[in-house]
A and B are shown apart, each in its own frame.
Chain A
Amino acid sequence: MARQNAFTQIGELVVRGGTLVDETGARRGDVLVRDGRILAVEEMIDAPKGATVLDAGGCVVAPGLVDLHAHLREPGGEIAETVESGSRAAALGGYTAVVAMPNTEPAIDSAAVARDVLALGEEALAEIAVAGAITVGRHGERLVPMAELAALGVRLFTDDGRGVQHAGLMRRALEYASGLGVVLAQHCEDEQLAAGGQMNEGAWSSRLGIAGQSALVEEAMLARDIALVRLTGAPMHFLHLSTAGAIEMIRQAKADGLAVTAEVTPHHLALCDAAVASFDPVYKVNPPLRTAFDVAAIRAGLWNGVVDAIATDHAPHPPERKEDPFEEAPAGMLGLETALAVAHSALCASPEESGDGAGPGWVPRVEGTAMSMRVLFGLFSWQPARIAGLDQDGRGTRGERGGQGGPIRPGVAANLTVFDPTAEWVVDSSRQASRSRNTPYAGRRLIGKVRHTVFAGEVVVRDGAPQR
């Protein structure tokens, strides 16, 4: 394999001087990497002759981040993003694995398309897993060949971009999926209740005269699907939950012992609907930015383990599509390059630090609620790795490369993120690796930056710069 040669050529690697954070806890340590795997973890390691040394002083060294939810747009939307450009953005954001969403053109609803995307992933700067559609063409009518896709390593299935509207069909999909070792993931949006709503329904939508989408749009489908999980016993993952009510429903479902997992996005945990007052479509996203009350509930859900993962919903759109009025622009925001820094600024950095400079819609953190690095990286790395089946025990996309999400110990694949929690930086949308520019954080100061990313033993990002 070409990639294998690429990293064997760079020889040995030492990640020096950082604080290792993984599921087992946090401790000081150096990491020695050879042939794509961690060879040794010691308090101090002398670099072997010829080894590359990555300085991790003052940094957290964590298992590489795993994104459950990225729209890489290939095939069909290459003007906005490709697997290659998306993986570059991912590497810069500290990701070593990304699940590519299937709402491409054509949709990932057949083995042929899945194979194409997996093949594009071979050359990428991160492991590319694919999610399959639940229904053919994402039309909500017929099931995709789930078993055939599962045999290719597809673990998540979703019609994301849309929810499966037909309750009866969703029941059959869950029943059919049982026993295949796969997880159906839902974009919860009841389209009849949504009725064309463009932003959160509430004080801001009323004042701005923009059609609203109530919290019920999300919660009605979530309630239906939790009931279907109860009925069928099949596991389900819930994408980009955005409302306080949805978080409470997940809490209850887990308390009832149901096999449900949930993700939230960086933007739903950081921003509220007040940002839309500018009418700038960069703040248009689906589900929409909600109220500060919802943001607080999401943060609580991340804290107390109700929410399993932070996932980007990275959704590139070419600039001209965001230069239309709010109501006509497509929904979606970039996420891969900023996700960890946004979450860190919103959840971990002190409120004075993130403060007012954070910009429109930013919800300041309540004093005394700083999240630990272990909880933060759990949400970004080993918890999503497990949901995507990319962890040590999972199949990975290619057998030999399961091994996302750590732990950091000898024998495990060397997928590592080196994060400097004190680095402050201002997001410059013109300097992002994504082909698109639709980041809501342009010009904002964030606290915490990815310094290096090691993917399967290869240094793909060094000092914030991509290495290929």
Chain B
Amino acid sequence: MRLSDAFAEVAERPIPKVPALRGRTVATVFMEPSTRTRLSFETAAKRLSADVMTFTAATSSSVKGESLRDTVETIDAMGIDAMVIRHHASGAPLRVTDWVGASVINAGDGTHEHPTQALLDCYTIREALTARHGEVPADLGGLRIAIVGDVKHSRVARSNVLAFSALGAEVVLVAPPTLMPASLEGWPVTATGDLDAILGELDVIYLLRIQSERLGEVLLPSLDEYHWRYGLTRARADALKRDALVMHPGPMIRGVEISPEVADLPASLVTRQVRNGVVTRMAVLFHLLGSGAM
């Protein structure tokens, strides 16, 4: 977090670039389309003066006719220091750590985890609390955070549950039963299907994206029904505490998770999340590859 603060300062400079990782090479390997996350990592790497290689392929290994192992070993052999990997399959980055010498950074894997998203979200909440109280909070203790939406299929939710609770926050998951994981055994959370019942107790409401594919799987009757039951409408926003924070990992679908007029409220931290994505990822890259002073 302190490292992120330092890089946040860099981001404010007229020329937001430091030579910390000059001569290092970072490969972004994206096996699932995600322009936003890739640009965020690449911007972070470039601000640290690292060289960036980009590999994108949306098809599965079997379609390509080359195994994941062959793909990543080839990239590793070009001489890279870090591999930022986004994959549509859960656990792919963990497997890759067995095969490459470079540092592996999980940029989101299937419906498993998205660790840098969790880091940037924690950083964003910390930043908001710092601005509110005039001092940096020790952790997120005492906060009640609701994660609302397709928890079952959300890597963001899995990482944030771990991160928020590790920092002392109380986490409640909110979803219809069809979008809740089959088992929450071992999860440090409570769960409910009734968003309206808890709105007034929340310090942070974290909205997850609803993918329209879920309709085909008959997990939801319709997106309108979802919006009616779980969307952050004007009325629900009014029922929140006055200083409650609204977050969303993006891309945000207005009219589903959130009403258009609420998305632009001052309480919404969505653009801060995007900005902090770059500085947090700079911190992650520097932590793994940097040596000595920045």
Stretch with Cβ within 8 A of B (4 or more), from A183-191, A250-258, A322-330: A322-330
What is the bound-complex CA distance between A278 and B98, given in angstroms? 11
What is the bound-complex CA distance between A212 and B185, given in angstroms? 15
A438 near B: Cβ within 8 Å? no
B260 near A: Cβ within 8 Å? no
A397 near B: Cβ within 8 Å? no
Query: Are B217 and A195 within 8 A (Cβ)?
Result: yes
What is the bound-complex CA distance between A326 and B96, given in angstroms? 12
CB distance from B70 to the nearest CB of A (A): 7
B275 near A: Cβ within 8 Å? no
Query: Are A209 and B90 within 8 A (Cβ)?
Result: yes
Q: A209-B90, A320-B67, A321-B67 are in contact. Are A327 and B182 (CB under 8 A)?
A: no
Query: Are B69 and A328 within 8 A (Cβ)?
Result: no
| Chain A residues near B181 (CB-CB < 8 A) | 206-207
Query: Are A328 and B60 within 8 A (Cβ)?
Result: yes
Query: Are A326 and B90 within 8 A (Cβ)?
Result: yes
Query: Are B183 and A323 within 8 A (Cβ)?
Result: no
| Chain A residues near B183 (CB-CB < 8 A) | 201-203, 205-206
B94 near A: Cβ within 8 Å? yes
Query: Are A325 and B90 within 8 A (Cβ)?
Result: yes
A210 near B: Cβ within 8 Å? yes
**Which of A209, A279, A323, A328 has its CB near the most chain B CB atoms (within 10 A)?**
A209
| Chain B residues near A279 (CB-CB < 8 A) | 90-92, 94-95
CB distance from B44 to the nearest CB of A (A): 25
Query: Are A209 and B185 within 8 A (Cβ)?
Result: no
- Chain A residue nearest to B152 (CB atoms) is A206
What is the bound-complex CA distance between A211 and B91, given in angstroms? 12
What is the bound-complex CA distance between A206 and B217, given in angstroms? 18
Query: Are B112 and A201 within 8 A (Cβ)?
Result: no
Contact partner, B91, options A195, A202, A203, A325, Cβ 8 Å = A325
| Chain B residues near A207 (CB-CB < 8 A) | 158, 181, 186-187
What is the bound-complex CA distance between A320 and B87, given in angstroms? 18
What is the bound-complex CA distance between A324 and B87, given in angstroms? 11
B111 near A: Cβ within 8 Å? yes
Q: Which DSSP category, helix, strand, loop or mixed, fits chain B's interface?
A: loop
B61 near A: Cβ within 8 Å? yes
Query: Are A212 and B182 within 8 A (Cβ)?
Result: yes
What is the bound-complex CA distance between A465 and B107, given in angstroms? 48
What is the bound-complex CA distance between A323 and B65, given in angstroms? 12
| Chain B residues near A214 (CB-CB < 8 A) | 182
| Chain B residues near A212 (CB-CB < 8 A) | 182
* Per-residue A-contact encoding for B143-155, CB less than 8 Å = 1, 0 else: 0000000001101
In chain B, positions 74-99 with a C-beta closer than 8 Å to chain A are: 87, 89-92, 94-95
| Chain B residues near A206 (CB-CB < 8 A) | 152, 181-185, 187
CB distance from A398 to the nearest CB of B (A): 40
B244 near A: Cβ within 8 Å? no
CB distance from B160 to the nearest CB of A (A): 13
Q: Which DSSP category, helix, strand, loop or mixed, fits chain A's interface?
A: loop
Query: Are B90 and A324 within 8 A (Cβ)?
Result: no
A180 near B: Cβ within 8 Å? no
In chain B, positions 169-222 with a C-beta closer than 8 Å to chain A are: 181-187, 217
What is the bound-complex CA distance between A195 and B90, given in angstroms? 17
Q: A203-B186, A279-B95, A324-B61 are in contact. Are A210 and B67 (CB under 8 A)?
A: no
| Chain A residues near B87 (CB-CB < 8 A) | 325
Size bracket of the B interface: 20 to 34
What is the bound-complex CA distance between A320 and B70, given in angstroms? 9
| Chain A residues near B89 (CB-CB < 8 A) | 324-328
What is the bound-complex CA distance between A383 and B94, given in angstroms? 43
What is the bound-complex CA distance between A320 and B61, given in angstroms? 10
| Chain A residues near B187 (CB-CB < 8 A) | 206-207
B68 near A: Cβ within 8 Å? yes
A44 near B: Cβ within 8 Å? no
Query: Are B69 and A209 within 8 A (Cβ)?
Result: no
| Chain A residues near B155 (CB-CB < 8 A) | 209
What is the bound-complex CA distance between A415 and B253, given in angstroms? 68
Contact partner, A210, options B60, B91, B95, B185, Cβ 8 Å = B91
CB distance from B177 to the nearest CB of A (A): 13
What is the bound-complex CA distance between A17 and B89, given in angstroms? 54
What is the bound-complex CA distance between A326 and B112, given in angstroms? 12
| Chain A residues near B62 (CB-CB < 8 A) | 321, 324, 328
CB distance from B57 to the nearest CB of A (A): 13
| Chain B residues near A328 (CB-CB < 8 A) | 60-62, 68, 89
Contact partner, A203, options B60, B67, B109, B185, Cβ 8 Å = B185
- Chain A residue nearest to B153 (CB atoms) is A209
In chain B, positions 36-64 with a C-beta closer than 8 Å to chain A are: 60-62
B290 near A: Cβ within 8 Å? no
In chain A, positions 341-370 with a C-beta closer than 8 Å to chain B are: none
Contact partner, A205, options B69, B95, B158, B182, Cβ 8 Å = B182
Query: Are B182 and A208 within 8 A (Cβ)?
Result: no
- Chain B residue nearest to A322 (CB atoms) is B67
CB distance from A417 to the nearest CB of B (A): 37
What is the bound-complex CA distance between A327 and B95, given in angstroms? 12
What is the bound-complex CA distance between A280 and B99, given in angstroms? 13
What is the bound-complex CA distance between A323 and B68, given in angstroms? 6
List 17 additional A-B contacts (Cβ < 8 Å) besides A208-B112, A211-B111.
Answer: A203-B183, A205-B183, A207-B158, A207-B186, A208-B91, A209-B111, A209-B113, A323-B68, A323-B69, A324-B62, A324-B67, A324-B89, A325-B61, A325-B87, A325-B91, A326-B89, A326-B90
Can you list 12 A-B contacts (CB < 8 A)?
A203-B183, A203-B186, A205-B182, A205-B183, A279-B90, A279-B92, A279-B95, A323-B68, A325-B92, A327-B91, A327-B110, A328-B68
Binding site for B on A (CB under 8 A): 195, 201-203, 205-212, 214, 278-280, 320-321, 323-328
